[in-house]
Structure 1
Amino acid sequence: MPLDSTDIRLLAALQRNAQMTAQELGDALNLSPSQAGRRKQRLETEGYITHYAARLDPNRVGLAVQAFIQVQLGTHGAENARSFATLIQARSEIVSAWTMTGEADYLLRCWTSDLAGLNSLIHDVVLAHPAVARVQSQIVMEQLKVDAPLPL
C-alpha cells in the first residue's frame, strides 16, 4: 500500500521521537489515538519501520574514538566477501559497514574506547583477514551533524 501524506508525517514524527504514544501521534497528525496507533502498526507490519533504538552518548559509555576504515581486498570472490561480512558482523566496534565503488571495497564506521583499541581493531582484526590487501583509516575529530532522520 503506498504511503500517503499522513503516513509520511507519522514516519517523520517517529524518527524525531520513537517513544511517542498513540495519543501524542494522534495529536500531531490530527487523528484519534486509535487511528494513529493502527497506522503505526500497519507501517511496522509492512516493513517501513524496521526497529526502534535508543541513541546513546558515546562518551558517556566510554567510547572516545570514532573512525572510518576503508578496506581494499586483494582478492575478490564470493567466499572472500562472505568471510569478510562474517568478520564485520562479529565485531561490536564496527557499528556500520558499506560496500563501495571506487578504490575501497568497504567502508567501516567504528567506535573504540581509545587509540589502542582502534589500532588493535585495524591490525589484529581487519588486516589479519586473509583477503584484505590495504586499509586506510580516518579518525573523526568532531562530528558536525549526528545521524539525522531520513529526508521524507
Structure 2
Amino acid sequence: MTSAPARLAARYGEAWNAHDLDAVMALHTDDTAFRLHLLDAPELTGRAAVRDGFAGLLALWPDIAFHTDRLVPGDGFFVHQYVVTGTLAAPMPFGAALARPTGSAVHFSGVDVITLSGELVHRKETYLDTAGAAARLGVFDGAGAAAR
C-alpha cells in the first residue's frame, strides 16, 4: 500500500511536470513557504508569494522537467531527489556572473525536502547542484555567461 506522502509526492511531481501552476498550488497550504537554497534567494511565505516565485521559475525554465532518482516518504514529509532538465529562457544571476540562455537544455541534480500539513505541502526546501548547473550553463568558461 502506498503512503499518503508518497501519493501526494506523485501528484505534486505530475503537476510540476505538466507546468500546471494551479494544480501545484492546490497542493499547498495557505500559509505555505518556499525556500530555494540558491545563493541569497529569499524565503517566500504565503500562497501568493510562493505562486509568484513558482511562476517565475516556470518562465525562466519553460520546458523544465523533473526525473525522480529517489523518493523517501516519511511521517509528515517526503524527500525527493531528482535530476532537473530544462532550457534557460532568460538571463539568470549566478553570484557575480550572469548565465545567459544558450538554447540548449541542461541537466543538474536537486533535492526537495517537503514538510506536510495534513495532505498538503506546508514547506518546500529546494537544494540544487548550483556548481553543476553553472558549469552546464557555461558560467565558469564564459560560454553563455557575462559579468553582471
| Same-fold call, TM cutoff 0.5 | no
TM normalised by structure 1 equals 0.26
User: Which structure is higher in helix share?
Assistant: 1
- Quick check: which has more Rg, 1 or 2? 1
User: Which structure is higher in strand share?
Assistant: 2
TM normalised by structure 2 equals 0.27
